[in-house]
């Protein structure tokens, strides 16, 4: 086959890939040398650790790998998702253990007054002292503190929009001095918003009824009786 | 060259490309392309399975080896149950949660076991959406036809018909549970067009559709107080004297002990195989996607369907290194994003089916029109900034917040710079053969979701997976619950394993492999 000659020139400069610089990091207090720039999770594997708890989707969606870290000479302890963060020299990190936050249980459909019920299910919610630690702890950059107050004031719609990015890592919970679990509050609020305060899609109900009433039966009968050849020809007509 | 210099050609050709229309391939051209470039047709990666229900069928070497692998069970394994339940669900992703909730709702005592945490799955990462024919100009029949075309006409018609017909009721169930699908101004469900679909049919929750559904389903499983067994990996199924499934043995990953669960019916919802890194491909899959359910079902005698076909999602990240294999959602292409080679040319209709688009990308790269990285990978550009040019500034950020954040963490702004992509191992098109009640060939063994096979034919359409999980999760849950209510707990034996081992012995098991794999071996052994 004719190879295009441009290929040899189209190479992205990545000297760090050809000769990885080794950096020293600390994993749960222990110093190890790992290649710069690999993810925090990969650094743990590189260091020889078997990781069972603390790895999930590896794509930044599941919140299993919530991690505390600090960079060289910076006193500030930050949070990250270990599968989505690159290591750098002098970094020190440890994974967050599962935190025993209390989750309220409820029958979402049976709620009579979801906005009031919030205070029965999560009575600590209005006790927020505005310290903002939850917002600072969120690796998804959600304004968690603002969300808690919006929940308290009944603006469930805003909460559900703000927390669409929430991966339920729970890092907002251990930092709360009022023992609120903001992610669980937001989950309740979002579900209530969906189940109780969002318009019912009329088109969906009519489609369900059409199927029940057999509106498509004639078409089904026609299609399911076709042989492979006829079916293939019919399919080709649908663009 | 500097990456920004290489990206220039994407910026300079953008306006010219916007005027272009690229026709889809004719069926003959598409078959030729796929046969030449799709990894499913790389003969050297395949071998026949030597024994068992699919004896003689070809599949990738990685999977064949695991299917023929031996069980970790000793002959004298103590089978006194630690737990007894009506319905045992194995797997905590979308299909597992849907199955558990429906079986529980039907009055069964349900236990849900998963090798990681409840919800750790591929489902949580599904960004593109869920195909359900809710639009007035659309219909379940059109959904059926589109899926059939995408699957190369190989789909099981009965399975496919129930999936498309059950779809709208599933949407209603999820909405009642509080799932926040995107809406139109009039309150109806907003639908987007997906690759290979003739009508807009994708229900979405921005680019967090799977996450939103899973947040809700997980919460509901906990609210319903369904018994959970987390960090326990299924390592063998149990059968009664007549070969019917009667429970499972787990390995508790915290203390390495075996846990025996007696169940009247078992639902396997263990997902796919991405972490087997078939043919050396990176994967978009979660940590536990090691095909465990396939091995377990195979040993107990269930036949697999379409085990030779896998989906390589067209757009897996190739750069930066930290994101290799991670998915760049098809939603970008649904909204008009172009695929662009190193010469600044488009080369495929971006909304063709995934196998066609992936094959085209592989062709471009093999013929020297790709962009290389110094770690030896190659890819083509996905023109993400085009979305802002086309639909106004802020579009990428508004419609794809998850993608934006993922790349921002590594200093890349995908609304300004195109993304380098190459196909990534994404989905197992086949799996355990099931009927419309989600039951396998083995009585009382149900299989739902990606672990099952037949529905998607040889190529799954975008957005059909989330629907598959919910529909067959529900069907398996309801059928298993009804079955369990009508029967007594069967005996717990490993008789099927004796048969499997006798047959394996005849053919030899030279690899010495024990399956299931449970987790990939990423830990570096030498230091």
A11:B321 CB<8 A: no
- Give yes or no for A226 touching B (CB within 8 A): no
At B315, which helix (H) or strand (E)?
Answer: strand B310-317
pLDDT (0 to 100) of residue A1: 45
- Give yes or no for A79 touching B (CB within 8 A): no
End-to-end, the C-alpha distance of chain B in Å comes to 33
pLDDT (0 to 100) of residue B196: 87
pLDDT (0 to 100) of residue B184: 96
Question: Which 3 state secondary structure label does DSSP give B246?
Answer: strand
pLDDT (0 to 100) of residue B76: 87
How many helical (H) and strand (E) elements, i.e. helices and strands, does chain A have? 10, 5
Letter string b/e over residues A49-83, b meaning 16 or more CB atoms within 10 A of that residue's CB: bebebbbbbbbbbbbbbbbbbbeeeeeeeebbbbb
Active site residue B333: yes
The distance from CA B430 to its chain's CA centroid, rounded to whole angstroms, is 10
pLDDT (0 to 100) of residue B57: 98
Q: What is the dihedral of CA B99, B103, B109, B111, to 10 degrees?
A: 0
Q: Is the pLDDT of residue A5 over 70?
A: no
Contacts of B394 (CB under 8 A, 6+ apart): B388, B415
Nearest to A203 among B134, B284, B527 (CB): B134
Segment B432-457 shows an average pLDDT of 98
Question: Which 3 state secondary structure label does DSSP give B395?
Answer: helix
At A18, which helix (H) or strand (E)?
Answer: helix A15-18
CA pair distance B67, B126, nearest whole angstrom: 27
Local confidence band at A7 (pLDDT 50, 70, 90 cut-offs): low
CA distances from A30 to A44, A98, A184, B523 (A): 11, 21, 33, 17
Q: What is the DSSP letter of B369?
A: -
Nearest to A50 among B168, B327, B523 (CB): B523
pTM for this prediction:
0.96
Question: Which positions in chain B touch A232 (Cβ < 8 Å)?
Answer: 153
B523:A45 CB<8 A: yes
CA distances from A193 to A197, B174, B399, B450 (A): 5, 13, 21, 31
- Give yes or no for A51 touching B (CB within 8 A): yes
Q: Is the pLDDT of residue A76 over 90?
A: yes
CA distances from B29 to A238, B26, B356, B360, B415 (A): 18, 5, 10, 11, 34
The more confidently predicted of residues A16 and B320 is B320
Q: Are A36 and A88 in contact (CB under 8 A)?
A: yes
pLDDT (0 to 100) of residue B275: 97
- For chain B, the average pLDDT equals 96
Question: Which 3 state secondary structure label does DSSP give B5?
Answer: helix
Question: Which positions in chain B touch A140 (Cβ < 8 Å)?
Answer: 405
Find the catalytic residue in B333, B399, B426, B458: B333
CA atoms within 13 A on the CB side of A42: 18
A108:B409 CB<8 A: no
Q: Are B492 and B291 in contact (CB under 8 A)?
A: no
pLDDT (0 to 100) of residue B527: 57
The distance from CA B238 to its chain's CA centroid, rounded to whole angstroms, is 26
Place of tokens 């107080």: B225
Q: What is the DSSP letter of B234?
A: E
Please give the full DSSP string across A47-108, using - where no structure is assigned: TT---STT-S-SSSSS-TTEEEEE-TT----EEEEGGG-B--TT-EEEEPPPP-PPPP---G
Strand partners, A33: A24
Each residue's pLDDT tens digit, B242-265: 999 999 999 999 999 999 999 999
Find the catalytic residue in B244, B313, B456, B496: B313
Each residue's pLDDT tens digit, A176-220: 999 999 999 999 999 999 999 999 999 999 999 999 999 999 999
Each residue's pLDDT tens digit, B148-181: 999 999 999 999 999 999 999 999 999 999 999 9
Q: Are A108 and B223 in contact (CB under 8 A)?
A: yes
Each residue's pLDDT tens digit, B91-134: 999 999 999 999 999 999 999 999 999 999 999 999 889 999 99
Give me the domains of chain A, ranges plus CATH numbers: 20-95 (3.10.20.30), 108-196 (1.10.1060.10), 202-237 (no CATH)
pLDDT (0 to 100) of residue A4: 54
Tell me if the bond preceding B392 is cis, omega within 30° of 0: no
Contacts of B172 (CB under 8 A, 6+ apart): A204, A205, A208
Structure tokens at A239: 């663009």
CB pairs under 8 A between A and B: 248
Segment B424-445 shows an average pLDDT of 98
Q: How far is A147 from chain B (nearest CA, A)?
A: 17
- Give yes or no for A49 touching B (CB within 8 A): yes
Give me the domains of chain B, ranges plus CATH numbers: 3-37+311-425 (3.90.700.10), 83-309+429-495 (3.50.50.60)
CA pair distance A84, B338, nearest whole angstrom: 26
Q: Is the pLDDT of residue A8 over 90?
A: no
Q: How far is A158 from chain B (nearest CA, A)?
A: 12
- Give yes or no for B145 touching A (CB within 8 A): yes
Give the sheet arrangement for strand B431-433, strand by strand.
B304-305, B431-433, B452-453
pLDDT (0 to 100) of residue A138: 98
B134:A17 CB<8 A: no
Rounded to the nearest 5°, which phi and psi values hold at B150?
Answer: -60, -35
Each residue's pLDDT tens digit, B165-223: 999 999 999 999 999 999 999 999 999 998 889 999 999 999 899 999 999 999 999 99
CA pair distance B332, B281, nearest whole angstrom: 22
Active site residue B426: no
Q: Is the interface score ipTM higher than 0.90?
A: yes
CA pair distance B41, B34, nearest whole angstrom: 8
A199:B122 CB<8 A: no
Which residue pairs, CB below 8 angstroms and at least 24 apart, start in B29-33? B30/B352, B30/B356, B33/B356, B33/B359, B33/B360, B33/B363
């Amino acid at each position: 086959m004719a190879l295009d000659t441009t290929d040899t020139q189209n190479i992205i400069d990545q000297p760090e890939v050809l000769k990885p610089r080794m950096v020293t990091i600390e994993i749960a207090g222990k110093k190890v040398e790992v290649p710069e720039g690999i993810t925090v999770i990969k650094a743990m594997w590189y260091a020889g650790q078997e990781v069972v708890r603390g790895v999930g989707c590896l794509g930044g969606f599941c919140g299993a790998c919530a991690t505390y870290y600090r960079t060289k000479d910076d006193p500030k302890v930050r949070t990250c998702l270990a599968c989505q963060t690159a290591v750098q020299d002098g970094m020190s990190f440890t994974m967050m253990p599962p935190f025993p936050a209390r989750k309220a249980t409820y029958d979402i459909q049976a709620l009579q007054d979801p906005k009031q019920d919030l205070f029965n299910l999560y009575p600590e919610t209005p006790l927020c002292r505005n310290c903002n630690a939850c917002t600072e702890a969120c690796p998804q950059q959600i304004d968690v503190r603002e969300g808690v107050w919006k929940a308290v004031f009944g603006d469930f719609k805003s909460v559900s929009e703000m927390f669409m990015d929430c991966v339920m890592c729970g890092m907002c919970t251990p930092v709360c001095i009022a023992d609120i679990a903001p992610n669980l509050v937001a989950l309740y609020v979002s579900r209530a918003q969906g189940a109780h305060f969002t318009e019912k899609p009329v088109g969906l109900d009519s489609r369900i009824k059409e199927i029940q009433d057999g509106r498509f039966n004639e078409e089904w009968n026609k299609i399911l009786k076709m042989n492979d050849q006829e079916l293939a020809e019919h399919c080709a007509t649908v663009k | 060259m500097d990456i920004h210099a290489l990206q220039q050609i994407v910026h300079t050709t953008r306006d010219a490309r916007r005027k272009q229309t690229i026709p889809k391939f004719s069926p003959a051209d598409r078959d030729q392309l796929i046969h030449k470039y799709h990894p499913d047709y790389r003969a050297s990666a395949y071998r026949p399975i030597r024994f068992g229900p699919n004896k003689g069928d070809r599949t990738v070497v990685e999977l064949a080896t695991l299917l023929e692998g031996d069980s970790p069970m000793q002959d004298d394994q103590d089978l006194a149950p630690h737990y007894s339940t009506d319905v045992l669900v194995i797997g905590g992703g979308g299909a597992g949660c849907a199955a558990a909730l429906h079986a529980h709702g039907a009055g069964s005592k349900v236990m849900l076991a998963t090798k990681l945490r409840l919800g750790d799955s591929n489902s949580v990462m599904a960004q593109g959406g869920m195909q359900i024919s809710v639009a007035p100009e659309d219909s379940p029949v059109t959904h059926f036809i589109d899926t059939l075309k995408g699957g190369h006409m190989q789909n099981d018609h009965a399975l496919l018909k129930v999936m498309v017909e059950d779809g709208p009721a599933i949407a209603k169930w999820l909405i009642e549970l509080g799932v926040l699908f995107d809406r139109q101004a009039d309150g109806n469900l907003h639908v987007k067009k997906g690759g290979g679909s003739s009508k807009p049919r994708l229900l979405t929750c921005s680019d967090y559709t799977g996450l939103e559904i899973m947040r809700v389903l997980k919460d509901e499983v906990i609210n319903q107080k369904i018994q959970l067994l987390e960090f326990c990996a299924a390592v063998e199924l149990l059968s009664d004297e007549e070969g019917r499934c009667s429970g499972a043995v787990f390995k508790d990953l915290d203390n390495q002990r075996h846990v025996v669960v007696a169940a009247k019916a078992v639902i396997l919802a263990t997902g796919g195989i991405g972490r087997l890194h078939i043919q050396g491909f990176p994967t978009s899959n979660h940590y536990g996607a090691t095909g465990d359910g396939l091995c377990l079902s195979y040993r107990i005698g269930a036949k697999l369907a379409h085990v030779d076909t896998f989906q390589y999602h067209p757009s897996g990240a190739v750069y930066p290194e930290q994101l290799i294999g991670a998915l760049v959602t098809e939603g970008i292409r649904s909204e008009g994003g172009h695929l662009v080679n190193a010469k600044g040319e488009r080369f495929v209709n971006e909304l063709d089916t995934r196998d066609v688009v992936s094959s085209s990308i592989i062709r471009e790269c093999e013929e020297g029109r790709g962009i290389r990285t110094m770690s030896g990978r190659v890819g083509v550009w996905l023109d993400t900034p085009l979305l802002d040019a086309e639909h106004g500034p802020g579009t990428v950020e508004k419609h794809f917040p998850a993608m934006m954040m993922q790349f921002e963490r590594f200093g890349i702004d995908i609304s300004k710079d195109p993304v380098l992509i190459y196909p990534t191992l994404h989905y197992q098109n086949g799996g355990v053969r099931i009927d419309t009640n989600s039951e396998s060939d083995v009585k009382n063994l149900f299989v739902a979701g990606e672990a099952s096979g037949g529905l998607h034919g040889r190529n799954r359409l975008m957005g059909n997976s989330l629907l598959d999980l919910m529909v067959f999760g529900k069907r398996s849950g309801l059928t298993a619950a009804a079955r369990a209510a009508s029967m007594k707990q069967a005996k717990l034996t490993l008789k099927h394993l004796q048969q499997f081992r006798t047959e394996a012995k005849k053919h030899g098991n030279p690899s010495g492999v024990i399956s299931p794999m449970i987790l990939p071996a990423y830990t570096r052994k030498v230091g």
